[in-house]
């Protein structure tokens, strides 16, 4: 294999300038991502406000988002950027260097679906997160206004906007309504 075709490592990926563009590293190759639309950003902000504030108020661990990189595979390396993620201090110590990609998977990942997402690609990414050690992957669908909870060896659990959302084993004491993650419906 020539050097030109050698897969990029997570460390090399971290060093490249983004120059206003968004990328993920998938099996050593750069994959450019479209910038999400405002609805996507509003939902991500709500997740961060609701869940992130709970994590901070109870000092449970690391809360990060904004497509912060998570190494999901090595050799060749894959670095994904979930919309939001949580890792307890038990999994990633409080003093961990957060200026580098964590090599330990967080317990919880949130992804907000975009209209351009293909289900096969989304489910591949969910599988990748779970294989990397993520305990639960939550997919929020802005059109259906649902939340799907994916776990290893379990069928997905679907929550409608009228349902409550909690993951007591990951976020003890946390509970909210699924509807809280979505902006109010537009009225005529």
Q: For 24-45, how does the pLDDT look when each residue is reduced to its tens digit (9 = 90+)?
A: 778 888 787 777 777 888 999 9
Q: Looking at residue 51, what DSSP letter applies?
A: I
If one compares 169 and 38, the residue with the highest pLDDT of the two is 169
Does 2 score more than 60 pLDDT? Answer: no
Domain assignment present for residue 58? The answer is: yes
Domain assignment present for residue 97? The answer is: yes
Mean pLDDT of the chain: 88
Domain assignment present for residue 138? The answer is: yes
Domain assignment present for residue 159? The answer is: yes
Which residues constitute the domain of residue 150?
36-66+82-181
Domain assignment present for residue 151? The answer is: yes
CATH value at residue 91: 3.90.1570.10
Let me know if 128 is exposed, middle or buried by CB neighbors in 10 A (0-12, 13-18, 19+): middle
CA atoms within 13 A on the CB side of 65: 21
* Count of positions (residues) in the chain: 188
If one compares 74 and 100, the residue with the highest pLDDT of the two is 74
- Residue 6 in tokens: 């050698």
What per-residue confidence (pLDDT) applies to 115? 83
Domain assignment present for residue 99? The answer is: yes
Domain assignment present for residue 73? The answer is: no
Does 185 score more than 90 pLDDT? Answer: no
Domain assignment present for residue 50? The answer is: yes
Distances from the Cα of 47 to the Cα of 15, 54, 106, 165, angstroms? 29, 10, 16, 12
User: What are the pLDDT digits (tens) for 9-26?
Assistant: 878 887 787 676 777 778
Number of domains in the chain: 1
Segment 42-65 mean pLDDT: 94
| Cβ atoms within 10 Å, residue 94 | 10
Does 188 score more than 60 pLDDT? Answer: no
Distances from the Cα of 108 to the Cα of 26, 37, 116, 170, 173, angstroms? 20, 23, 24, 7, 15
């Amino acid at each position: 294999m020539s050097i030109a075709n050698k897969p990029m490592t997570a460390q090399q990926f971290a060093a490249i300038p983004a120059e206003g563009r968004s990328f993920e590293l998938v099996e050593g190759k750069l994959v450019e991502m479209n910038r999400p639309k405002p609805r996507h950003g509003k939902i991500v902000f709500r997740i961060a406000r609701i869940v992130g504030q709970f994590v901070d108020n109870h000092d449970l661990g690391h809360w990060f988002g904004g497509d912060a990189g998570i190494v999901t595979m090595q050799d060749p390396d894959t670095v994904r950027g979930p919309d939001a993620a949580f890792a307890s201090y038990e999994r990633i110590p409080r003093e961990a260097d957060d200026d580098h990609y964590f090599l330990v998977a967080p317990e919880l990942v949130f992804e907000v679906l975009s209209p351009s997402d293909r289900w096969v690609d989304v489910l591949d990414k969910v599988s990748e997160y779970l294989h990397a050690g993520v305990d639960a992957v939550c997919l929020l669908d802005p059109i259906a206004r649902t939340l799907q909870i994916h776990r290893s060896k379990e069928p997905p659990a679907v929550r409608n906007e009228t349902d409550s959302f909690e993951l007591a084993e990951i976020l003890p004491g946390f509970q909210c309504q699924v509807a809280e993650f979505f902006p109010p419906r537009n009225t005529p």
